[in-house]
Amino acid sequence: KAGVTQTPRYLIKTRGQQVTLSCSPISGHRSVSWYQQTPGQGLQFLFEYFSETQRNKGNFPGRFSGRQFSNSRSEMNVSTLELGDSALYLCASSSGLAGGPPYNEQFFGPGTRLTVL
Amino acid sequence: AQTVTQSQPEMSVQEAETVTLSCTYDTSESDYYLFWYKQPPSRQMILVIRQEAYKQQNATENRFSVNFQKAAKSFSLKISDSQLGDAAMYFCAYRSAFEMNNNAGNMLTFGGGTRLMVKP
């Protein structure tokens, strides 16, 4: 079974631009969660999508948004980029269902490294 | 809201020795899951071990074991016979069982991480 894939792996943008990151979950998984990882704030939950609906949201400004398609692939978008948005963005996929096997484990992708100049 | 704290930013261990990484958490829930994830330099997060709060028995996975103290809200990871490949960032994480069991979410709350160095 193929793992979680994220594209692109590296991205350089300038302040004020917008960016779209993509995450393809493991086949059959319906939940995709996004996390931001920075040296200062650590790993922080952005949002989770399940069956094309946002099921949970972290404490991030509205510039951060996402969506999920019918094939469970997910995209996250950051508009009006700021220097502080430079981070590793990780997505994780799981079945998303109560009682899903095993323990509804989340499988992480390799991440997208975003640098904002 | 739940919080997870890892008080050791860095630890080092001699190859073949044993090391224990600490994690404490705060929650008002009675049912939850706890995890240890490993993040090597490749940045790929890998699940090391999990513990269900309702289970008294400590989880074990080969050289990795946990010491789960529910009353103290403590969840430490013990790595035995440390190997060079164990060098990585280790994150402790919490997940609500209520959210999961009610299809209400799958959010992980992470600690700040501990960088483990293994000396040959």
Distance CA A64, CA B33 (A): 28
Given an 8 Å threshold on Cβ–Cβ distance, is B105 in contact with A105? no
CA distance between the termini of chain B: 41
- Is it the case that residue A104 has pLDDT exceeding 90? no
A89 vs A71: CA distance, rounded Å: 21
pLDDT-wise least confident of A83-92, A93-102, B100-109: A93-102
pLDDT level of residue B66 (50, 70, 90 thresholds):
very high
Chain B residue with Cα closest to A47: B107
Confidence of residue A95 (pLDDT cuts 50, 70, 90): confident
User: pLDDT band for position A21 (50/70/90)?
Assistant: very high
CA distance linking residue B15 with residue B119, whole number of Å: 6
Band (B43; pLDDT cuts 50, 70, 90): confident
Q: Is residue B99 scored above 80 in pLDDT? A: no
- Band (pLDDT 50/70/90 cuts) for residue B105 is confident
Residue B56 reports pLDDT greater than 90? no
- Tell me, what's the pLDDT at B100? 67
As a whole number of angstroms, the distance between CA B108 and CA A56 comes to 11
Total number of residues shown for chain A: 117
pLDDT value of position B9 = 96
Stretch B2-23: mean pLDDT = 97
What average pLDDT score do residues A29-52 get? 94
> B101–A50: do the CB atoms touch at under 8 Å?
no
Question: Taking CA atoms, what residue in B is nearest to A56?
Answer: B105
Per-residue confidence (pLDDT) for residue A103, from 0 to 100: 62
Which residues on chain B are in Cβ contact (under 8 Å) with A50? 103, 106
Q: What is the pLDDT of residues A58-71, one digit of tens each?
A: 999 999 999 999 99
pLDDT band at A38 (very low <50, low <70, confident <90, very high): very high
The secondary structure of residue B97, as a DSSP letter, is H
